[in-house]
Amino acid sequence: MNKTARQALTLCKRIVIKVGTSTIMYPNGTVNLQRLEKLAFVLSDLRNQGKEVILVSSGAVGVGLHRLKLLEAPKTIPEQQAVASVGQSELMNLYSSFFFNYGQVIGQVLMTRDIVDFPESRLNAINTFEQLLMKKVIPIVNENDTVAVDELDHETKFGDNDQLSAIVAGITEADLLIMLSDIDGFYDRNPNEDKKAQLFHEVHHITPELFALAGGVGSKFGTGGMITKLNAAEHILERSGQMVLANGEDPTVIFNIIAGEDIGTLFTAKQAN
């Protein structure tokens, strides 16, 4: 293990944490309250330690489907955006009550791709994050699903929250992005299909060969599988940032990651010396 790179994680001050839908929902389509509760506990405690924490949370559509008692996602865009609208407020309501138990204030930040394409929008977003962090608030970020569209002349969609979390880590100059998924890290093949799959403990470059190992989507709710996670890691490495991909089964794993333990896959430009 590259001790220096893992040790460097103990110094991280500003941390972005991304949770996938599969982390906060049960496969049966209901909300995993235990996980949300633990997540609120861990992030509030990090905040108390003096870390600056930003949460990027998926799950609006999943929660919306549950709230509207729909068994599967509707096909049309207006219907999907309506589901996201219901789910987003329900999700924030849940986060609010869990974080409230720990005395932690949260703020909702809904973003569109404009922060990538328009410098003024980006600056405005950066200033908002700075203000929230200065006020010790934990921003909870999601794509603005209810308005973001894929139009050719004005594309406002990020595509996926893995990308969004990497962009948020970039514009806020975060020291670390922790991506929690339903898998222990990035493997040389899909471990759900082949038990002999080997975990990569550390990755320094994102290559076409690595992309070839990132199979299809695994979970019922998962959107991007490993491809979008590698895209995010590439974005992070380009700006010499660090990213850890780990299993969100037990959110207290975040404590272990920032204690420098060998958990999940660490994407870092720092080579072992």
Closest CB to ligand ADP among 121 and 247? 247
Looking only at Cα atoms, what is the longest distance across the chain? 54
Closest distance to ligand ADP from the beta carbon of 251 (Å): 13
**Which residue shows structure tokens 């299809």?**
216
What is the pairing mode between strands 202-203 and 242-247?
unpaired
Nearest to 4 by CA among 261, 272, 241: 272
Give the tokens for residue 28.
């049966």
- Asked if 223 interacts with ligand ADP (CB under 6 A), we say yes
Closest CB to ligand ADP among 129 and 186? 186
Tell me which of 59, 64, 225, 260 binds ligand ADP, using CB under 6 A: 225
- Asked if 265 interacts with ligand ADP (CB under 6 A), we say no
- Asked if 218 interacts with ligand ADP (CB under 6 A), we say yes
Closest CB to ligand ADP among 8 and 217? 217
- Asked if 143 interacts with ligand ADP (CB under 6 A), we say no
Q: Is the dihedral of CA 43, 108, 165, 162 positive or negative?
A: positive
Q: Is 189 exposed, middle or buried (0-12, 13-18, 19+ CB in 10 A)?
A: middle
**How many residues of this chain interact with ligand ADP, rule: CB under 6 A?**
25
- Asked if 186 interacts with ligand ADP (CB under 6 A), we say yes
- Asked if 189 interacts with ligand ADP (CB under 6 A), we say yes
Q: Which amino acid is at 225?
A: G
